Structure 1
């Protein structure tokens, strides 16, 4: 069966109004004459940044249709999400909660997730090494070798806390390698380390923004399949933390998010003029910068990737749904293990 990759509407021009008009969304942008109408049937979700107005009628219709609305800050920080009525089989969610209470099964799922993160991190680093100068190339290949050395130890990890340690070390190595892979435009300061709250340089600002886009995609995939996005296996549970969405994100961060950010900087599509520095040192994308990233993200979601278990290529935008379905099958007992996706 062919699945159509629907579009997501991103609204970021401050003061924009989105209004329901029969079975479409009417978009009114300040200081721009005329109007734009987008049919609802062509949209799988709406993402708004900052001061965007949605009418009650539109919000209600999206809730009824199960079409998620995601609210982000202007800088791309996730604020909240509306999904409408909870969907999915209650027995699946019960199985999800039961597995969380079994330390052995939970550890096995987390182990596969960390292994996929490491393999995908190594993949992007080796790809970056192909086009690097001799000095950075040696550093990138050394990091790739160090990452792969951790894989044999994962099955021996006694608990999830130990696996989190391996995951944290892999993330540290990954971001250290990224600085050797980046070749940004003049005016972009060197990337030294990952800074999240707040991002303090353009590369970190772009990473945070794209991770927000990825989080929305993965969160929606979990909801679509019927899983509880807040009960995960690698990340701890606490109020307001979508642990399962963060779990599933790990295998996609490097090939889908980090790869996109590298491409945008190395091709000079993102330049110093696409960023603003706020009082206190925080850096965020301008409206034009967000437009560049969102357009590239939409194109990247349509890029086909090989999926070994499916035996075919799958658009990037549908990979999280595929993996959420595989996890659901494992939780139901239909698969002996969770099989993560790795790039190739």
Structure 2
């Protein structure tokens, strides 16, 4: 069972004991979670402390610890050094991959993202959705025309309204999006390390200060799943991030998507995508395992089963 543990109360102490993550407050235990059940730990609170034994125990299980800023965007992360039995060879292939291959891989990711955006808009009966198939077909190797940005300029007003502006430092809707993306980012980063790849070496994102570059590449097709959940939450009156909403975001990694004719949870889809990327680096052929855009019924299922406010 994959669980995302969110630490949002100031002054907590987090440790490990006999296979459990233990949360204490003023020396009193207030919660425990089996370490083997943990998918990731997200820390939003101030003044928290944790033991090195906990960090080691989570790393041994491939579970990242994500430290978030006040806007709910990640600012730091811990990841295991040893993620795969053939890690050395896979990382070497990753580092030695040429730009032509990286450009082909990025094209496939951008096409998948734009198709996902169009699929979500179509499910919401937005007339502009039909243009996204054309935008996807116009993406070239490396996306030199920046069709990703062109799609985004149409997507956000069509989805959120003409007055919405995507702001990574903003509150309200933007804070909900930030948190959802952080959950998805942790899932993809975990999959990248498990596949024997290094999350810092991206195929498109290359900022030297970004320890998540490869995760930020692979997360792109998953983002509209978060967008759909946020839209449903807003439709039900959500204005600020609270514990019940965080639990809904945590369940997103268990939402089923279709990939190569097989239905798998989002967490498994991320693993298969990362594994296919590692194979692409080793063979020099751009073959990514990307999930199919959800049907209208699937989008409705996501909204109804994950967005109910408790």
TM-score norm. by structure 2 comes to 0.85
User: 1:9·1:45 contact (CA, 8 Å) conserved in 2?
Assistant: yes
Distance 1:151 1:38, change over 3 A: closer
Partner of 1:57, secondary structure, is: helix
- Per the alignment, residue 42 of structure 1 pairs with 37
Give unpaired runs (5+ residues) of structure 2: 295-310
Q: 1:60 to 1:107 in 2, by over 3 A?
A: closer
CA distance in 2, matches of 1:49, 1:87: 26
Q: Which 5+ residue runs of structure 1 have no aligned equivalent?
A: 130-139, 181-189, 275-288
State the partner residue of 2:124: 128
Q: How does 1:74-85 map to 2 (within 5 A)?
A: 74-85=70-81
Instruction: Report which of the two structures shows the higher radius of gyration computed on alpha carbons.
Output: 1
**2:159 pairs with 1:174:** no
What is residue 109 of structure 2 aligned with on the other side? 113
1:277-314 CA-partner distances (Å, limit 9, x unpaired): xxxxxxxxxxxx2313211012222221221x2x3210
1:59-98 → structure 2 map (5 Å cutoff): 59-88=55-84, 89-98=87-96
* 1:17–1:312 distance in 2 versus 1, CA, 3 Å: same
**TM-aligned CA deviation for residue 222 of structure 1:** 0.5
Extract structure 1 runs of 4+ deviating beyond 3 A.
63-67
The offset of 1:338, in angstroms, is: 2.4
RMSD: 2.3
Aligned partners of 2:189 and 2:92: how far apart in 1? 18
SS in 2 for 1:150: helix
1:92 offset after TM fit, Å? 1.2
Is the 2:167–2:174 contact (alpha carbons within 8 Å) kept by the matching residues of 1?
Answer: yes
Matched, 1:15 2:11: yes
The equivalent residue for 1:229 is 199
Q: 1:12 touches 1:74 (CA, 8 Å); kept in 2?
A: no
Matched, 1:330 2:269: no
The CA deviation at 1:336 is 5.3
Task: Establish whether residue 146 from structure 1 lines up as the match of residue 131 from structure 2.
Answer: yes
- CA deviation string 1:66-100 (max 9, x = no partner): 4322211243121211123232321111111222x
| 1:259 Cα offset (Å) | 0.9
1:206-221 matches, within 5 Å, as 206-221=176-191
- Corresponding residue number in structure 2 for 1:160: 142
Q: Distance in 2 between matches of 1:73 and 1:237?
A: 19
Shift in Å, 1:337: 2.4
TM-score normalised by L of structure 1 = 0.77
